[in-house]
Structure 1
């Protein structure tokens, strides 16, 4: 890297990097998605449309496009931004997302607005728009920059989104009422903060 920029994971073997990027991206985004506005949107979509697989497919398409761009942006940013302070920027971003996760979300989008598009079309459009600027998208940008692996970060974050939203689509309000949302948010926040500490310690 030019300018003496030090990325913490450059020295990690490829196999370990793949596992770290995939597993960390999956777990952190799955936890961050619990109670997030896109998960709440999944509940609304499931109540509005009968075709659950079309909703899942829409979430998958919207997420993989959105998060693919986000992971690329994160990798591009860390390659463009040079200097020994880059680790501090990444760590601060992890800390910020960790604190952001503690703030409960609400849904503003109304699925009926796109009902004429059907379950797949409405889900794809609404989910993509709802994810713009959302904490899970920001987390994907940070993870892409940290791990320098667009493919595995995108795969991991997409799996995390599906892991959190597929049960929500089929189980609906019963699942939401049983989830310990405050505890889950706290665990996700601690995980992001811990990742920030790890970045600074390497």
Structure 2
């Protein structure tokens, strides 16, 4: 349950103001069909985060616990710094062509999520918690919590949120996770 809750919270906070959330705004503005956009975001996220969690699980098997602890701890701290850097949407991430709304959203969102903060966080969370299903469900829920309002409420939702505060909270959580991981917190209980 901890893996699910931590994954949900971290990704929901990390996604606010992220380039994939900006893409959700663009998709909502361009297509004005929220249901296929939300469905495309959901499917793209499940597939992307499943692959990311599989990499995280593989890393736990590949590396010894000491090496993995240091990589994850320092990785979480690096994520804290990275999350404070504002994102912009790339022209390559914007949907184009005559695909249906669902397909255009699925492709654009999947590609935009490649190498994104939340994808890297999913790799680290899967390696940290060694509970792939809970991490994927949690990170997917976190993405949906951040992006569904973006699709339905548009830019009004973006201006109502203090991005610096939200990013600061997310960064603080990443720092706490990083320090706890470096100190070996959770090893005694099998985390």
For 1:152, the equivalent position in structure 2 comes to: 134
SS in 2 for 1:22: helix
Matched-pair contact (CA < 8 Å) for 2:15–2:21: yes
Deviation, 1:198, is 1.2
Q: How does 1:118-197 map to 2 (within 5 A)?
A: 118-197=100-179
For 1:72, the equivalent position in structure 2 comes to: 54
Deviation, 1:84, is 2.1
- Cα distance between partner residues in 2 of 1:87 and 1:27: 21
* Residues 75 and 60 of structure 1: CA distance in aligned 2, closer, same or farther (over 3 Å): same
Q: Which runs of 5+ in 1 are unaligned?
A: 1-18
| Bigger Cα Rg | 1
Q: Which runs of 5+ in 2 are unaligned?
A: 186-191
* Residues 112 and 88 of structure 1: CA distance in aligned 2, closer, same or farther (over 3 Å): closer
Deviation, 1:64, is 0.2
* Residues 30 and 112 of structure 1: CA distance in aligned 2, closer, same or farther (over 3 Å): closer
Worse-matched range after superposition: 26-35 or 190-199: 190-199
| Cα RMSD after superposing both structures | 1.1
* Residues 89 and 111 of structure 1: CA distance in aligned 2, closer, same or farther (over 3 Å): closer
Count residues in correspondence: 183
Q: TM-score, normalised on structure 1?
A: 0.88
Matched-pair contact (CA < 8 Å) for 1:75–1:145: yes
Worse-matched range after superposition: 84-93 or 148-157: 84-93
- Cα distance between partner residues in 2 of 1:94 and 1:85: 14
For 2:15, the equivalent position in structure 1 comes to: 33
- Cα distance between partner residues in 1 of 2:32 and 2:180: 44
